[in-house]
Amino acid sequence: MVLAGWAFHAYMSAFCPPVRTMSFADNWSGITDTPGSLAMGLQTAHTFADSLGLTLDPGKTFVWATQSQDRAALKPLGHPVVQSARELGGFMAFGTFTRNAALKERCASLAPVWSALRRSRAPLVLKMMVLTGKCWPKALHGIEGCPLPEAEINRLRAAATKALQIRPGGVSSMLRLSINEKCDYDPGFWIVWSCVRQIRRIARAQPGFLLKWRLYMRQFDGTLYQGPVSRLIRVLSQVGWSVQEPPFVSDHEGIVHDLLRVPGTLLHRLLEHAWLHHVAAQHRHRHSMRDLSGIDLALLRSDASNLSALDTARLGSLRAGAFVSGEQQARFDLTQTGVCPTCQVADSIRHQVCECPRFAQQRVGSQSDWHHLFADGSCDPSVHADFALAAWAVVSATDALPVSCGPVPGLLQTAPRAELLAMISAARWALRFRKRCIVWADALNVVDGVADIRNLTRKSDDNDDLWDVLESLLQQMPAEDFLVRTESPFEDWVAIHNQHADTLAGFANRSRPWSLQTTRQLALEHHQHMLQVQRSLRAILFGIAAAKMSGAASPEADDAEQLEVELESTVPRPFSLEEIVPVNWRERIEATEGRIPRKFLVHVCQFLLFQDDQSTDAYHVSWLELVFMLHIDGSVVYPVAHSQG
C-alpha cells in the first residue's frame, strides 16, 4: 500500500493538478475548489484504480461541499453527498454545524463495561485504571475534533462513580475523579489533555500547520467550529487558558508558555493545576465549599502512598463532599435527628472534630590535550515537584579547576534536566577552547542520548528543548574529539572527581538569589503547616469513622497518654561539616603518619559526614556514645584483634 499510495499522489499530480490529494493506507482523499475539478479528480482516481486492477468501494466513497449550490452540483456524480462523516475513526463535519451523534453513541456503548466494573471484586486502584485504559479511549475517540456537551460528560462521570461504587451521599463525581493520583480519571481533564496532545502531535508532524494556525487565530472572531483548533480554544478557555500568537498560550496565572516546546511532564502538571482550579470554581455553590478558592496539587498528592486502601477511599469521599456528620445525613435519612446524642447540639463536622467529647481521644496529639571533564547535576529533594530546585556543574579533572556551574532555569526542576545542562556546558567549553575532551557523566540516559545523536537514532522525550541545543553543539564537533563515558577501570579516580562535580552543583543550587530562597522557604513553611493541618484533620476524621464502625467511641474510652521522647543536648546546627572540611581531606589523611590506621580514620570520617548530612540538628556526643554508634552501625571495622583473630 505504500507504493500504491505514492503512485496515487504522483498520478493525480500529473493528470489532475487542481486536486490536492491525501492518503493514509488504503484511504484516499482529494480536495479542490470547484465541483468541476472535483468531478475530474474523481474520474482520474477511478482511472488510476483501474490501471492497478483495483475498485473503489462504492459504500465508502462519498463527496462533500461547504456551499449548498456546490452540493447540488455534485449530486449527478452518483456518489452520496454528505454533510458529515466518520473518517479514520474521527468525526468530520463539512460546514458550520456540529455533528456528534456518533460520539454520543460511543458514550452510551459503555453500559456493559459499567456493569462489569460494578460486579468486579478487583481492588479500586485497578478498576480506576480501566477508566483511562479502556473507557475514555473507547467512548471519547475522536473528541479532539468534535465537541461534546457538558451534560454528556457529567453522565460519564456519574456512570463511572456509580460503577466503581465510590459515590456515597453528597459526593461530587467531578471532585471524586479529579482528586486521585492523577486527574486523567476524570473525562473532562482527559479531554483537555487529549486535545492539547493532538495539537502538539499535528504541529510536529505537519511543517505548515503552525503558519495556518497563526492565520486562523488572526482572523478568529469568536466563532467556534468542529475541528482541532476550535476544540483547543474551547477546552483551554474552560480551565482559564487562552491562545496567544501560536504556539504560545497563556495559563490561568498569566504565564506564557510555548505549547510545542514546553516539556510534556511540565505541561501535564500545569494543566492539572488549572483543572483543579476549575474544579474548585465549579463547587463554590456548595455551602461547605463556598470559600474553596483552589485545590493545592502538592497537598492533594501528599502522603497518598502511605495510606491503606480503606483510608484512601475514606479520604477520597471526604474530599469529594460526602455526608459524614449526623446533621448532613439527617437531610435525607429521616431516622436521624441531626443532633449529637451527648451534647444535644447540631451534630456537624466542626462539632465532631473540635468539640464533641465522644471523639476527644481522636483529637489527642493533633492540636496546634585530552581534557577530562566531569559533568553532574544535583536536585534538592523536596516534598513535591513544585518546590524542587536543581543545579548543574562541570569540573576539569585535568586542571583540577571548576569549569562552570549554575541553577536549572524554568519551572521544571529535575535531575535529568540538570544533567543535560551540564553536558551542554561541557560541549560549549570544548567548542570555545577547541579542546579534545572526554566527558564523564553518571547519568546513563545522557550518555545513551549522546550516542543516539551520533547514530542519528535520537528519540523524543520530555526534555527535547535541551536535547535540541545539545544536538546542535555536537554537530559542530567531530565525534572523535568529544567522547562521553560513564565507566572506567579506575573507579576511585572517577568517584573522587564526580564527587567534586556534585559538590559544586550543590553549591550552585544553594547560591540562588536571596529573594528566591526566602520566597521558597515561605512557600515550604506554608505547605508544611497546611500539610500538618490536613493530617491532623484526617486523623480525627479517620478516628471518628473507626469509632463509629466499632461502636467503641465513648467518654470513658481509654485515654492512655502518648509518650514523647525528647532528645537532650540538641542545638541548632550552625554549619555543615561538608562546608568546612577541605575537599581533599581523604588525601590529607592518607598522607598522615600515626599509630591509628589511616583506613580506619577515613571510615570514621565518612560515617560522621553521612550522619551530619542526614541530620537537621547538632548533638553533643561523648566518646563512649560515638563508640556505641559505630558498633550499632556496623560499617566501620575496629583496628584491633578480637577472639576470632
Residue with the larger pLDDT of the pair 287 and 115: 115
Number of domains in the chain: 4
Task: Tell me the C-alpha distance between 125 and 138, whole Å.
Answer: 20
pLDDT tens readout for residues 220-268: 998 888 888 999 999 999 999 999 999 999 999 999 999 999 999 999 9
Task: Tell me the C-alpha distance between 313 and 324, whole Å.
Answer: 13
- The rounded Cα 427 to chain-centroid distance in angstroms is 30
> Is the per-residue pLDDT at 454 higher than 80?
yes
276 and 156 both lie in a single domain: yes
The residue from 492, 516, 540 where one domain ends is: 516
> Is the per-residue pLDDT at 423 higher than 90?
yes
195 and 253 both lie in a single domain: yes
In a domain, 301, yes or no: no
pLDDT tens readout for residues 323-355: 888 888 887 777 888 888 889 888 888 888 888
172 and 253 both lie in a single domain: yes
In this prediction, what percent of the chain has a pLDDT beyond 70?
A: 95
452: CATH: 3.30.420.10
Rg (CA), the chain: 33
In a domain, 523, yes or no: no
Cell of 499: 564527587
Question: Residue 325 has what pLDDT?
Answer: 82
Neighbours of 87 (CB within 10 A): 14
9 and 134 both lie in a single domain: no
> Is the per-residue pLDDT at 544 higher than 80?
yes
135 and 31 both lie in a single domain: no
> Is the per-residue pLDDT at 641 higher than 50?
yes
In a domain, 458, yes or no: yes
In a domain, 437, yes or no: yes
pLDDT (average), residues 84-109: 79
Question: Residue 643 has what pLDDT?
Answer: 56
Domain that holds residue 374: 370-516
pLDDT (average), residues 63-86: 83
250 and 158 both lie in a single domain: yes
Sign of CA dihedral 571, 574, 576, 580: negative
490 and 389 both lie in a single domain: yes
Confidence of residue 489 (pLDDT cuts 50, 70, 90): low
3-state secondary structure 415-465: HHHHHHHHHHHHHHHHHHHCCEEEEEECCHHHHHHHHHHHCCCCCCCCCHH
Residue with cell string 497563556? 250
Q: Strands, E, within 345-422: which ranges? A: 370-380, 389-396, 401-407
157 and 72 both lie in a single domain: no
In a domain, 185, yes or no: yes
In a domain, 318, yes or no: no
In a domain, 96, yes or no: no
In a domain, 98, yes or no: no
Question: Residue 580 has what pLDDT?
Answer: 82
Question: Are 450 and 484 spatial neighbours (Cβ–Cβ below 8 Å)?
Answer: yes
Question: Are 90 and 97 spatial neighbours (Cβ–Cβ below 8 Å)?
Answer: no
Q: What are the backbone angles phi and psi of residue 201, rounded to the nearest 5°? A: -65, -45
118 and 76 both lie in a single domain: no
The residue from 18, 50, 82 where one domain ends is: 82
Highest average pLDDT, of 345-349, 435-439, 585-589, comes from 435-439
Confidence of residue 370 (pLDDT cuts 50, 70, 90): confident
The residue from 516, 549, 580 where one domain ends is: 516
7 and 147 both lie in a single domain: no
154 and 279 both lie in a single domain: yes
110 and 73 both lie in a single domain: no
pLDDT tens readout for residues 190-225: 999 999 999 999 999 888 899 999 999 999 998 888
Task: Tell me the C-alpha distance between 130 and 136, whole Å.
Answer: 9
> Is the per-residue pLDDT at 557 higher than 60?
no
- The rounded Cα 415 to chain-centroid distance in angstroms is 15
Task: Tell me the C-alpha distance between 74 and 81, whole Å.
Answer: 7
